[in-house]
Every structure is written in C-alpha cells, then in structure tokens.
Amino acid sequence: MEVMRRRGRITLAAAIVTVIGLGACSSTTLAGSGDTSEDDVGAAALASLTLNYSCVFPLIGAQPLSVEINSDIPTEVTPGVPTGAFEIDAISTVNDAARVGLRTVGATTLEGTVKADAHLAAPSLDLPLVVDMAIPQAPIPATAGAFTVNANGATPSLTFTPQNAGTGTITVGDLVLTMTPRDANGNPTGLGTFDADCTATPGQDQVLHTFTITGGGGTTTTSVPGSTTSTTVPSTTTTTVPQPLEFAFDLAGSSFIQAANGTTPLTGGIVAQFDLATGAHTSELTLAPTTGSFTILGILPVTANIEFEQAGPTTGSLVDGRLTSRSEMFVRLTNVLAFGYLPIGGGPTCQTTTPAVVELATPAGELFDPLAGGNLEGTYTLPGLAAGSCGFLGDLISLFTAGPNNTIDLALTATD
C-alpha cells in the first residue's frame, strides 16, 4: 500500500512537470497569446465552440444559457517549448427570463467571475483544469429580449514532453458563475453575490480544440490507463524539475498574546519560492514593526513597540490547497511604555532568548489559492526575554509576555 501511494505521488509530481515544464523561467518564446511571430510554437487557429448549458439562478431556477467560446490556440505544438497562455473570450447569451428576474429585484448591471472546468488530454496526459474568467460589468437591458454578457480569461501556459506526442484535445466542461447584480446606485441587490452552477446540456461535442504534439519520433506508445494516479511516467522526467517559481503576497492580520491579554496588529509581506514538483516552498517573511497594547498585572496599561527578526527562511508546502509554513523569528521589544508615556523597559537588545517558532496553516475548510492568496492561522509560544537586556522591569515584562497559546491570524493577498 505504501509503495502504491508513493508511486501515485511521484506520478503526480511528474504530471506537474509535464505540464508546467520550464515555462515560467524560460526567457524566450513566452510572449503572450499566440499572435503572429511565434513560429516555434506552431500555427495558430481560431478555436470556437458554442455550448448550451442549464444554469440554476436564484428566484428563476434553471434557465438555458448559450456560451460561445473563442480562443486562438495553435494547431501544432512542439515538446519542450512553452505554448504561452491563450486568451479565451466567452460570449454568453442570457435569456429574457433571467433579465426579468434581475430587473425585478432592481438590478441594472451584472458582473462576476466564471470558473470553467476544462480538461486537457494527450498521450500520457490527462489533466483536469479550471480556467478562471472575469465578467466585466455589463448592463442589464430594460427592454425585453435576451442579452449578451462577455467573459475573458486565459488558459495556462503548457509545455509538453516527448511522451505527449500525438493528438491533444481541450474539452470544456461545466461552469460556475459567481455573479453580483447591482442597482443603478451601484449597490448590491437582494440577491447579493450568488453562485449559479451551469451544467452542459448532454449530447454536445464539448471539444474546444484538437491539436498535434509533434516530435519524439511520434512512436510513443505510452497508454493512459483508467486512472491518472496509476499513469506510468518514465523516471527521467524527474530530472526536469523546473526552477522554483516566485509568488509574492501582502499579509495583514493580528496576534493575540495570551500572557499579556492583548492583541498586536501584524502587517508585512511574504515572497514564496514554490517547488512545483513537490509543492514545497521556501519563503522570505517580512513583518513590519508594530505596536501592541497590553495590560500587565491586571491594571497597568502598557504599550510596546515590537520588531521581528527572522532567524531563517520560512519553509512549508502547498498540498491539496492547504498551505503550511514554519518560521523562526526573534521578537524584540524596542520600547515599552506604561500609561502611554512612562518608559519601563525595552531596548535594542530586548528580545526573546530563542527564536519563536511560528507554524501556520490554511484554516480547515478553506483553500489557499497561490494566485489570489488566502488565510493562515496558528498558535505559538513566545520565549522569555533575555535577562538583563530589557531594563529594570525586564523580568517583569518577560513574565507578562512569555508563554504558550498565543494565536496568529493572517490574510495573504497576492501582490500585483
């Protein structure tokens, strides 16, 4: 059992390598979306597909939705060469019943996002994808009739391996629309922001595009068994692990210090280097100096200026949408004031004797999206302050800061 599970993991890692390839770090041939001059990417063709869906909306229930999907996608791709992202435009035709429902609750505009299930298939490759698209604000007509709503997004850049040589297909599946109707004042209506699930009407051809993956002698015979987790991938692919990719996030949140019964706001940033093959990351965490207000001895209001010094890189992983991280940092109290003005301690060397170890993770039930960000939470122990370095009340201050069960809650937002 253990052997099989490990094999599954290796296969998964290999699949990531196969698809991501060297894309992000390569310096050439990665420009944009298949316009003109990308000879080595192959001939581009306008892929177009109109799909009929049934979407469930609040108030009006299931309604038909017709979506015309257009994308400039090459008809031929070369292994080892990143394809670049392809822009996708989708024009949805919304029926009059939906228009009436929306106008009845006072809506005059509609905006939102689309998550489109897609599927990429090629020899040795069988990959579900989610393509995110944005729906810019569109007017909801006052006059009767169907109306159109545009969405746009981009496919991921893909790099194929020689094992993938042959015919590839991109299939479009179901959609999740996240919609916010607004009234003439720009306020949300009684429907708020809602999700509408759209199910493709059965019996349609859902293949958006068929293309050829060239090279490799074209004699690859790798077959795809019934399950992705048992796909056999030659072990040599593990040598093509790409360089880590960098993601940057702003962070904001707070930490509650139990011994001092007070909360400190936290701001800063994190630059994470993800190893795509394993999901592991090594990151540089920056926490801005902050000020915390506490009450010590039950009566003495204290303000502390706090700085953080990272004792090493932050490490962790992103697996199944769950981000974990482990940081070690010295916590320094540069100045401690009672009643807001009376210095009672602190100083440039007034810091924890050992680094505080802070382990954070995505809260249960949430997902971390490396593109957008997500929340992190955890608990940690604050070590005591270095004796004699925090002024004449230093030991007292240490007594009322050190201890376990401090909590931390952070929101990470991708830096643009």
Query: Scanning residues 105 to 134, which ones bind other proteins (CB under 8 A)?
Result: 105-106, 117, 119, 121, 126-132
Burial zone of 135 (CB within 10 Å; 0-12 exposed, 13-18 middle, 19+ buried): buried
12 phi and psi, to 5 degrees? Answer: -60, -45
Between the alpha carbon of residue 52 and those of residues 144, 146, 147, 223, 244, the distances in Å are 21, 15, 15, 32, 40
Q: What minimum distance in Å lies between the beta carbon of 341 and other proteins?
A: 32
Q: What minimum distance in Å lies between the beta carbon of 96 and other proteins?
A: 12
- Give whichever of 132 and 359 is closer to other proteins, judged by the CB atom: 132
Query: Per rule CB under 8 A, is residue 362 in the interface with other proteins?
Result: no
In sequence order, the β-bridge partners of residue 60 are: none
Q: What minimum distance in Å lies between the beta carbon of 369 and other proteins?
A: 7
Query: Per rule CB under 8 A, is residue 411 in the interface with other proteins?
Result: no
CB 333 within 8 A of CB 393: no
CB 363 within 8 A of CB 377: yes
Query: Per rule CB under 8 A, is residue 361 in the interface with other proteins?
Result: no
Residues 216-245 that bind other proteins (CB under 8 A): 224, 226-229, 245
- Give whichever of 17 and 306 is closer to other proteins, judged by the CB atom: 17
Number of residues that bind other proteins (CB under 8 A): 88
- Give whichever of 27 and 341 is closer to other proteins, judged by the CB atom: 27
Q: What minimum distance in Å lies between the beta carbon of 198 and other proteins?
A: 10
* Neighbouring residues of 184: CB distance < 8 A, sequence distance ≥ 6: 106, 108
Residues 63-102 that bind other proteins (CB under 8 A): 84-85, 100-101
DSSP 45-99: EEEEEEEEEEEEETTTEEEEEEEEEEEEEESEE-TTS-----EEEEEEEE-HHHH
Residues 153-212 that bind other proteins (CB under 8 A): 154-158, 171, 173-174, 176, 178, 183-185, 187-197, 199-200, 206
Tokens 């830096």, located at residue: 415
Q: What minimum distance in Å lies between the beta carbon of 327 and other proteins?
A: 21
- Give whichever of 116 and 149 is closer to other proteins, judged by the CB atom: 116
**How many other CB atoms are there within 10 angstroms of residue 142's CB atom?**
8
Query: Per rule CB under 8 A, is residue 141 in the interface with other proteins?
Result: no
Nearest by Cα to 336 from 256, 264, 254, 391: 391
Q: Choose which of 81, 318, 402, 408 interacts with other proteins (CB under 8 A).
A: 318
Query: Per rule CB under 8 A, is residue 276 in the interface with other proteins?
Result: yes
End-to-end Cα, the chain, rounded Å: 43
